[in-house]
Amino acid sequence: MRRVIGPLSILAVALLTACATGGGTNAVTGDAAKKAGGQVTTAIPAPAAPLSVSPSPETKVARPASAAPAKGRCKVRPDSVPWAHVSGGCRNGYAHGEGRARSVDGWRSYTGMFVDGAFSGRGTYEWGNGVRYTGEFLDSRRNGTGTLTYADSRSYAGEFKDNAYHGRGTYTDADGSRYHGDFQAGYYHGRGTYTWASGDTYVGEFEANQMSGTGAYSRRNGDRYVGEFRNNQMNGRGAYSWPNGDEYVGEFRDGKMHGNGTYTHADGSKYAGEFRDGKKNGPGVLTTPSEEIAQHWSDGRNVTNESR
């Protein structure tokens, strides 16, 4: 025979659950509360976007002497600014081979290989504001492998294409957070690992600097989520586990349990049903070691219980 338990008898259900799992009267408060709501997921911070090269020096830096081109000097092809040749080889009137150059405004400097007046091969380019690149060039653009460092301790080491981070690389932010993986046109894009300064980590897919696709997020406190992401949040199907042994497997929306899912408690009891905005909402079934209870919830509040 089925028995219906009304809203006023919710405590009795909690007591029944506590007894079935080995708890006594003192366990009702803690265990019943857990059965009623369970734990909540924690929002995931967004990864910091990689910094692009500063296009001009900081104004507080004293302006250096200019390097105006002198008659008879080898020509250096401009990139975003005009340059003057300082020393090195020439061919057909253009800098060629190993040499040095400085921007006409006096801020920037280049030391390395030239091909027909362009930076090509290995070299070191300094902006005059603490930004420095050492690596490969092609036609005066960063192409190939190299290391770019900033005055505030940010850095990128890896592959470049047409001045942008592109390919495999490692970007380290000023606070110590780090991304290692695929880049595309200056963005985290593809598979990678992002480690926050807090010690939290995400391993999975990225799209235009955002966690998007499938991945695993692990918190320093022991929380862990494995599943689908969109817009830097848990969106889609996944599994979220807590350090005490509780686990939720099901649907997520904007970082919260939302849709159909199963919440399993560390003691083995579990609730399978509907969730909305992180709370039980709608029909579901609570299964304990001794029985099944059909329940209905409204915005995290238990409305009805029916023992099967």
Return the higher-pLDDT residue of 308 and 296: 296
The domain segmentation of the chain, as residue ranges, is: 1-38+266-308, 83-233
Predicted TM-score (pTM) of the model is: 0.81
Segment 44-47 long-range contacts (CB within 8 Å, at least 24 positions apart): 44/202, 44/211, 44/217, 44/225, 44/232, 44/233, 44/234, 44/255, 45/196, 45/200, 46/210, 46/211, 46/232, 47/177, 47/179, 47/188, 47/194, 47/196, 47/202, 47/206, 47/209, 47/210, 47/211, 47/232
Output the pLDDT for position 20: 32
pLDDT digits (tens, 9 = 90+) for 37-54: 578 888 878 888 787 654
Mean pLDDT of the chain: 85
**CA-to-CA distance for 276 and 284, rounded, in angstroms?**
13
CATH for the stretch 83-233: 2.20.110.10
Interior/surface letters 169-183, b for 16+ CB within 10 angstroms, e for the rest = bbbbbeeebbbbbbb
For the residues 121-145, what does the mean pLDDT come to?
Answer: 97
Output the pLDDT for position 28: 27
What is the pLDDT confidence band of residue 250, given thresholds at 50, 70 and 90? very high
Q: Cα 170–172–176 angle (5° rounding)? A: 140
pLDDT digits (tens, 9 = 90+) for 155-189: 999 999 999 999 999 999 999 999 999 999 999 99
For the residues 213-230, what does the mean pLDDT come to?
Answer: 96
What is the pLDDT confidence band of residue 308, given thresholds at 50, 70 and 90? confident
